[in-house]
């Protein structure tokens, strides 16, 4: 259910974000709050993170596996691989590495 929910929220994210500042280099909390779909997606990610942080180790392991196999690999992986920028590849592999380390602890 978690992975499906994240996938659904991800699918409605805008494909292009227009920021009207010349020195823009990252999304700010205000930018996130201005985009309803992004706010919902971020809230869902934060909820998942909060649950994993306080969950029993068995529940934590299962949730992380659901998120990894149900969202990160099938949804985020292909989405990031479509982008030609090395920074997106790097971000994906850092997230993947972090997931694996958390899973092992």
Q: What is the pLDDT of residues 11-50, one digit of tens each?
A: 888 887 777 777 777 778 888 888 899 899 889 988 888 8
* Cβ-based neighbours of 92, under 8 Å, separated by 6 or more: 76, 77, 80, 81
Q: How confident is the model at residue 56 (pLDDT cuts 50, 70, 90)?
A: very high
Burial category of 88 from C-beta neighbours within 10 Å (exposed 0-12, middle 13-18, buried 19 and up) = middle
In angstroms, the CA 51 to CA 93 distance is 23
Give the residue carrying structure tokens 């949804």. Answer: 75
Only one residue has tokens 């909390």, namely 29
**Predicted confidence band at 54 (pLDDT cuts at 50, 70, 90)?**
very high
Give residue-wise pLDDT tens across range 76-94. 888 777 655 545 555 555 5
Q: Residue 100: what pLDDT?
A: 63
For residue 74, pLDDT over 90 is answered with: no
pLDDT of 102 higher than 80: no
Whole-structure pTM value: 0.68
The pairs formed by 98-101 with CB atoms below 8 angstroms and a separation of 24 or more are: 99/64, 99/67, 99/68, 99/72
């Amino acid at each position: 259910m978690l992975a499906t929910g994240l996938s659904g929220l991800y699918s409605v994210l805008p494909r292009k974000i227009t920021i009207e500042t010349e020195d823009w280099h990252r999304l700010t909390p205000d930018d996130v709050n201005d985009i309803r779909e992004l706010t919902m997606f971020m809230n869902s990610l934060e909820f998942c993170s909060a649950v994993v942080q306080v969950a029993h180790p068995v529940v934590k392991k299962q949730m992380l596996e659901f998120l990894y196999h149900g969202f990160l690999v099938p949804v985020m992986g292909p989405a990031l691989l479509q982008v030609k920028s090395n920074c997106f590849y790097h971000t994906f592999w850092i997230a993947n590495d972090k997931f694996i380390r958390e899973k092992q602890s």
